[in-house]
Structure formats: structure tokens, C-alpha cells
């Protein structure tokens, strides 16, 4: 099957966009990821940086990536169940290693685990419309569970939302130090993440993958509709998502990021809007592809999308080196971190373009494919990535 260059471009945008939020997870205590008031009232620049990223990026690129992951599961169905099982099992293992030994904010493990369930659902639901509706229902269940957690939670802020001074100091100690102390803490973080995956986030992730599979089936994510259709859909979806989100952003600012409201109830509008906004971004790409295809930067982003796994891990390598080896942890505010992101993007893009000039697959993509072939009982060719 020939590559869909537009999908490569959208995947590239997703993997680059994920860094907009992940860099906060690398550079600041974990509580700062969602709570700009983790260390007292935030500065004006922190407030506005948080608000703009919350509106345009928070959850959106992860959601877009999950939709594309589901689309990929649909495209890979002809490979057979042995191939898909092996591919997703290896992704789960990659994610476990990444989460325990490199960074606790890993998403690969979640995608691997839920993917092992979602690919069967995508395969076994014959009706495309039913597949999409079932995915949407699962996603809404995940949002509803989040609201239920808010109803039953204590009004007192958790340490993950508002840490004490000793907890912040300890995190600032073990992250740069690394070693077994860091592994121990990452294992604890991993256990909490897996509980959240089973109780709440897994519903949403499975739903997104199913919706992505359905949209690949009906041609929407293959660009099978007219440019006029995609432009109209982009305008509608992006407008609707803004209407849903802006009031919750304003309220969070007004209540000063109070735990019970902002940790649960006011997360729900963002989660509800995320699939709409993510599909709106995709529709913009399809709707204006004739213009985008003429830009040199587009080719570079396509290359980054073809090497999404390698670039995701490269971002971890760059950020962990910057913040844990060069003592930049907790030294920069949100706006300063945002200013660093384009420099890392440039590294991602240059690496991708140069690598694909000589090889057909990214380095981790090549390893993943070889291990998948072995796991599926096939004989991989003894060849280099090219």
C-alpha cells in the first residue's frame, strides 16, 4: 500500500505538538503539568502561556496521535493477528523500558496495552458507523468517570496537584540524580498510571483508536473527501471546540486552579472538545493540502511523521539531557520552556530529513519492524534500515 503523505504530515504535527506540553513534564515537578499554581500564584506570563497551551495544545495532539494510531491499526489488519499482536507487544515493552528507565511521562506503554484490545474491536465490528459510535461511547464513558472521580474525591488537594516543599525538593533531587532511586520513583509513578489507565483514561484511549479506525475505513482520514468538505469541517469543529473550552479556561483562572474543580470537573470540557479540535486540525491539513504540499517545511514534517517513534524517543533524550544533566530542572518558567521547543523541533526535523535521505525507515521503526517479524514467526530480511 502506498504511503499517505498527508497522514505522515499530520502524524509529524502530532509528534511535534506533543512536545509543547511534555517539556513542562521534563523541566518542572509533575504537579506543574496541569496546575500552573503548583507553587503558589503563577506569574502573568505563566498564566497566559498555560491558557493558550490549554486551549490549543493540551490533550489535542495526544488525541490526534491516538486517532492516527487507530487508523494505523485499521490499515494493518491485512497483516494478520500474529503480526499485530507482536507489533503491539513490542511497543508495550518499549514503553515499559522508556517509562521506568528514562521518563515517567511515557505514552507508549498505554498505546501498546490499549492497542492490544482496540485492534480486535476494530477488526470485529463490521459496520463503520457502529465502530465510530462505539468508540465515541467509550470515550464519553471515560469523561464521565472523570466527573465521578470529582464527585467522590476529597476537597483537599492531593500531593500530585499541590505538592509540599519537601516533595518538590525530593523530586528535584532524584530526577537529575538518576540511578535506582529514580527507577524506584518511576515504578511508583507507573503503577499509578496503570491504575488510571484501567479506571478512566483507557476508556478514552480505546474510544479514540476505534474512532480513528472508523475514519480510516470510510476514507475521511485518507483524504477521500473534497477540499471544500474538509475546510467546512475544520471551521465547524474548531469553532465548536473553542466554544466548549474557553469558559472552562476562564473559570479555572478565576478559581485559581482549585483542586476539585480544576483537577476533575473543568478537565471534562477540554476532554470533550479534544477529539473535535484534533479532527479540526486534521481537516485543515486535508483542506489546504494543495497549498501545504508546495512548502519545503511540509516535506520535513512528513519525514518527522514517518519516524514518529524515533522522534518521540529523541525528544526524551534531548530533554532529559538538558534538564537532568545540565541542571536546568526547575530553572525555567513556562514561557521560557515554550521558547526552547522550536530548537528541539529543528533537531527532530533535521534528523528525520537526513536519516530518510539514506534509509527507508527510522532507526527505532526498523528495530520495531524486525522484532515484530520475529515475534510473528516470520523471517526478517538481514538488511539495514534502508
pLDDT values of the chain reduced to their tens digit, one per residue, 386 residues: 567 899 999 999 999 999 999 999 999 999 999 999 999 999 999 999 999 999 999 999 999 999 999 999 999 999 999 999 999 999 999 999 999 999 999 999 999 999 999 999 999 999 999 999 999 999 999 999 999 999 998 888 888 899 999 999 999 999 999 899 999 999 999 999 999 999 999 999 999 999 999 999 999 999 999 999 999 999 999 999 999 999 999 999 999 999 989 999 999 999 999 999 999 999 999 999 999 999 999 999 999 999 999 999 999 999 999 999 998 999 999 999 999 999 999 999 999 999 999 999 999 999 999 999 998 887 655 444 44
Residues 79 and 160: their CA atoms lie apart, in Å, by 42
Rounded alpha-carbon distances, angstroms, from residue 107 to 190, 194, 201: 11, 11, 11
Q: What is the pLDDT of residue 266?
A: 93
Residue 162 CB partners (closer than 8 Å, separation 6+)? 31, 35, 37, 38, 259
Amino acid at each position: 500500500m502506498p504511503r499517505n503523505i498527508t497522514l505522515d504530515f499530520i502524524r509529524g504535527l502530532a509528534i511535534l505538538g506533543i512536545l509543547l506540553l511534555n517539556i513542562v513534564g521534563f523541566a518542572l515537578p509533575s504537579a506543574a503539568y496541569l496546575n500552573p499554581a503548583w507553587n503558589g500564584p503563577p506569574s502573568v506570563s505563566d498564566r497566559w502561556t498555560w491558557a493558550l497551551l490549554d486551549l490549543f495544545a493540551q490533550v489535542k495532539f495526544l488525541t490526534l496521535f491516538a486517532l492516527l494510531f487507530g487508523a494505523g491499526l485499521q490499515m494493518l489488519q491485512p497483516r494478520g493477528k500474529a503480526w499485530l499482536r507482536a507489533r503491539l507487544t513490542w511497543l508495550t515493552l518499549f514503553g515499559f523500558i522508556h517509562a521506568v528507565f528514562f521518563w515517567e511521562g511515557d505514552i507508549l506503554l498505554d498505546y501498546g496495552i490499549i492497542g492490544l484490545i482496540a485492534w480486535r474491536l476494530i477488526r470485529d465490528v463490521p459496520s463503520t458507523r457502529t465502530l465510530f459510535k462505539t468508540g465515541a461511547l467509550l470515550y464519553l464513558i471515560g469523561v464521565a468517570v472523570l466527573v465521578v472521580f470529582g464527585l467522590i474525591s476529597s476537597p483537599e488537594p492531593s500531593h500530585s496537584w499541590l505538592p509540599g516543599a519537601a516533595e518538590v525538593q525530593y523530586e528535584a533531587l532524584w530526577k537529575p540524580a538518576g540511578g535506582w532511586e529514580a527507577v524506584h520513583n518511576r515504578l511508583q509513578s507507573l503503577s499509578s498510571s496503570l491504575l488510571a489507565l484501567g479506571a478512566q483514561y483507557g476508556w478514552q484511549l480505546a474510544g479514540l483508536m476505534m474512532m480513528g479506525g472508523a475514519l480510516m475505513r470510510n476514507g475521511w482520514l485518507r483524504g477521500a473527501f473534497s477540499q471544500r468538505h474538509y475546510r467546512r469541517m475544520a471551521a465547524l469543529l474548531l469553532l465548536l471546540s473553542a466554544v466548549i473550552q474557553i469558559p472552562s479556561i476562564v473559570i479555572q483562572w478565576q478559581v485559581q486552579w482549585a483542586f476539585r474543580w480544576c483537577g476533575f470537573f473543568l478537565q471534562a470540557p477540554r476532554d470533550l472538545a479534544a477529539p473535535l479540535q484534533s479532527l479540526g486540525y486534521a481537516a485543515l491539513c486535508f483542506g489546504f493540502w494543495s497549498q501545504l504540499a508546495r512548502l519545503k517545511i511540509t516535506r520535513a514534517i512528513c519525514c518527522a511523521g514517518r519516524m514518529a517513534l524515533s522522534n518521540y524517543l529523541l525528544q526524551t533524550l534531548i530533554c532529559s539531557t538538558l534538564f537532568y544533566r545540565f541542571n536546568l530542572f526547575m530553572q525555567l518558567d513556562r514561557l521560557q520552556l515554550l521558547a526552547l521547543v522550536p530548537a528541539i523541533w529543528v533537531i527532530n526535523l533535521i534528523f528525520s530529513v537526513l536519516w530518510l535521505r539514506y534509509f527507508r525507515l527510522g532507526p527505532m521503526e526498523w528495530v520495531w519492524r524486525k522484532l515484530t517479524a520475529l515475534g510473528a514467526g516470520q523471517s526478517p530480511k538481514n538488511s539495514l534500515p534502508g
